[in-house]
Amino acid sequence: MGVSTSSPEKGISVVTVDFPPVNAVPVAGWFALAEAVRAAGRDPQARCVVLAAEGRGFNAGVDIKEIQARGADALVGANRGCFEAFAAVYECEVPVVAAVRGFCLGGGVGLVGNADAIVAGEDAVFGLPELDRGALGAATHLARLVPQHLLRTLYYTARTVTAQELRAHGAVWRVVPPREVVVGALELAREIAAKDGELLRLAKAALNGIDPVDVRRSYRFEQGFTYEAGASGAGDRVRAGFGRGAGDGNAGDGNARVGKGEQG
């Protein structure tokens, strides 16, 4: 359980997240993920990093139970941890391929939105249930996956989109059977890793340099409103109803449940 790194092939590192039962990541987990991705990118032998997950889904966001139990300290910690993890993926010295199976919600969107490529399972769904969780954020990253009006509709409704829908928008490279997600991601990583390592690092830096939006500054701006929601009491008011009625969360068609008290 936790965050682990493996090197199944020359030039490829796989960073795997495993926080049962639904990969709702605790504060320490976000920082561990950030360090693992940065370390993988710093490895001079690495040419591509695959970001994967064990369990029922790719990522259910922050651990709401931890925030409910620890209050403001956990909320601040989760925000800082997410900021570091998202930035680590974006700033990884080599390309990052996200292997997404099942639900990819909240912080999961932050991770894949900052990745260089996405291979998704046929069962994958993506969304930001932030308004149902008493928080804001990661619109910066969803905006890298879908057009503006769809982004706003998804954000306001907390609904999800499928891997096939994201592929239609050009955000997902391939959609494969769920059991073949990591295999598909490794196939793409292998093709990338066949390129010259020095040129790959230069290419990653160049592409980041021409991005029209500074993702670190944009996400940090969003986080200010999460803090404001916490200070005003709006966040706690919404989280108090988490796990009861409408607060249970969305997956797939916007009504299926991921897990009580753990999605974020």
Span 245-256, mean pLDDT?
Answer: 34
CA-to-CA distance for 160 and 103, rounded, in angstroms?
9
- Between CA 201 and CA 13 the distance in angstroms is 15
| Per-residue model confidence (pLDDT) at position 256 | 35
**What digits encode the pLDDT tens for the residues 84-125?**
999 999 999 999 999 999 999 999 999 999 999 999 999 999
| Mean pLDDT value across the chain | 91
Which distant-in-sequence residues (6+ apart) come within 8 Å of 205 by Cβ? Answer: 93
Q: What angle do CA 243, 64, 123 make, to 5 degrees?
A: 75
Contact between residue 12 and residue 43 where contact means Cβ atoms under 8 Å apart: no
Q: Supply the pLDDT for residue 124.
A: 98
Average pLDDT over residues 37-62: 97
Give the residue carrying structure tokens 């670190």: 216
For the segment 130-144, what is each residue's pLDDT rounded down to a tens digit? 999 888 999 999 999
- Whole-angstrom distance, CA of residue 117 vs CA of residue 96: 7
Rounded to whole angstroms, the Cα distance separating 154 from 31 reads 28
23-48 pLDDT, tens digit per residue, is: 999 999 999 999 999 999 999 999 99
Question: What is the pLDDT confidence band of residue 180, given thresholds at 50, 70 and 90?
Answer: very high
pLDDT surpassing 70 at residue 56: yes
pLDDT band at 254 (very low <50, low <70, confident <90, very high): very low
DSSP for residue 62: B
Global confidence as pTM: 0.91
Q: 148 near 249, Cβ under 8 Å? A: no
pLDDT tier, 258 (very low <50, low <70, confident <90, very high otherwise): low
Q: What is the fold of 2-178+198-248? A: 2-enoyl-CoA Hydratase; Chain A, domain 1 (3.90.226)
- Answer whether residue 252 shows pLDDT above 90: no
Average the pLDDT over 7-25 and give the result. 97
Give percent of the chain with pLDDT exceeding 90.
80
**Kind of pairing, strands 160-162 and 125-127?**
antiparallel
For residue 193, what are its two tokens? Answer: 């890793």
- 71: tokens are 């209050």
